[in-house]
A and B are shown apart, each in its own frame.
Chain A
Amino acid sequence: MQDIKRLIEDSREMSRRSFFSIAGWGAFTVGSAIALWESLGPPPVGKNGVDGSGGFLNPNVLYEDPAAFKAGLPTDYALGSTTVLTDKRVVINRDPNGFYAISLICTHLGCTPRYFSDVTSDLVTQGISGIRDPDTRQVANKANPILPGFKCPCHGSRYFRDAINFFGPAPRPMDRVSVELGRDGRLLIDRSVVVDRNFRLKA
């Protein structure tokens, strides 16, 4: 309380000139802060893609490849197959219990992993044990060293065929994205919708 009283007394003594000087600098600082915010303000990216508007340097409209696309008829994919759609950075797996799609973007730093029919045997030879897929319960060991999957060329992360990471710096499995059956009977894939790991499209 004492301090506030003193501040008021002091401000009474403040000359008109220094008051205007402080007010001027204050206005300049606030104005600059607003200008900075308007130019660099947070991007307009919400949960459903782009909505609202961001600062000048954050584009509100993107002319990037649309997230959703069609990927042919279900019959185009053999049972147990893994198909890499290179242009779209998506993998479509067809298992006995259905389809699921993987967004082929390494969860470490965003490179595109590559599919190999064997991503485990060299690790087994080096004596690394405990390579086990928690979902399919497949195990790579001396008796059965070869499992298919993905290797990332940038920092050496490895994933099983079902996108679950088991080696290298990747922090989590690659995202599974939505697969639906379109009205024309073709697969409709939306890369912007991440789905649960147990998701399967029965077809």
Chain B
Amino acid sequence: MATEARERIEARRRLQRAETPLAVRDDSQDEMIVSFPEFVFKEFIASVAMTVFLLIVSIWLDAPLLNRANPGMTPNPSKAPWYFLGLQELLSRFPPLMAGVAFPTFVIVLMILLPYLDRNPSRRPAERKVAIILFTLYMLIAVALVLIGTFFRGEAWTWNWGLVLGSG
């Protein structure tokens, strides 16, 4: 934190003296191009690539469909879509008020307020180590929870190596 504070103060000072730019490179002298057709063409290529990719995946891979909904019988194990599995993992460990309500609300509010919490004006990666480390940690935890929920939770949500290491 101390390094971050020192870097932030230094960056603010530079902003006042209008010396070296806050970004890595000054782009004000970069070449100006006409967005049409060059930029539009790039976007077009990207969307065509995405369409082809989606078509191939959709032809080869069927969207999952289980049995008809039955309120009396919960499938075992019962999993949410993958991007909610991190939340489901938290729900199995902490009380629902915390894991299901307080925690997601906290994360969303934190994300919206981020520009006001991180008041370091510099955009150079070397000058915002703490911010980058914290965000990377957050992403890693999120990905790890999703992976655990997807691959390491078996029947009745018990820990199961078998799904990864073969029949366990």
Q: Which residues of A contact B (CB under 8 A)?
A: 86-89, 104, 108-109, 111-114, 122, 151-156, 158, 168-169, 171
Contacts and interface: CB of A to CB of B under 8 A. Distances in A.
Contacts of A155: 88, 91-92, 157
19 contacts: A86-B70, A87-B72, A88-B72, A104-B72, A111-B74, A111-B78, A112-B72, A112-B74, A114-B73, A114-B74, A152-B156, A154-B74, A156-B92, A156-B156, A156-B157, A158-B156, A169-B91, A169-B94, A171-B95
Interface of B: 70-78, 88, 91-96, 100, 155-158
Nearest to A158: B156
Contacts of B93: 169
Contacts of A151: 156
The B contact surface, by secondary structure, is loop
B96 A169 contact: yes
A152 B74 contact: yes
Given A153-B76, A153-B77, A169-B93, A112 B71 contact: yes
Given A153-B78, A153-B155, A169 B73 contact: no
A122 B158 CA distance: 11
B72 A153 contact: no
B143 to A, nearest CB: 21
A86 B92 contact: no
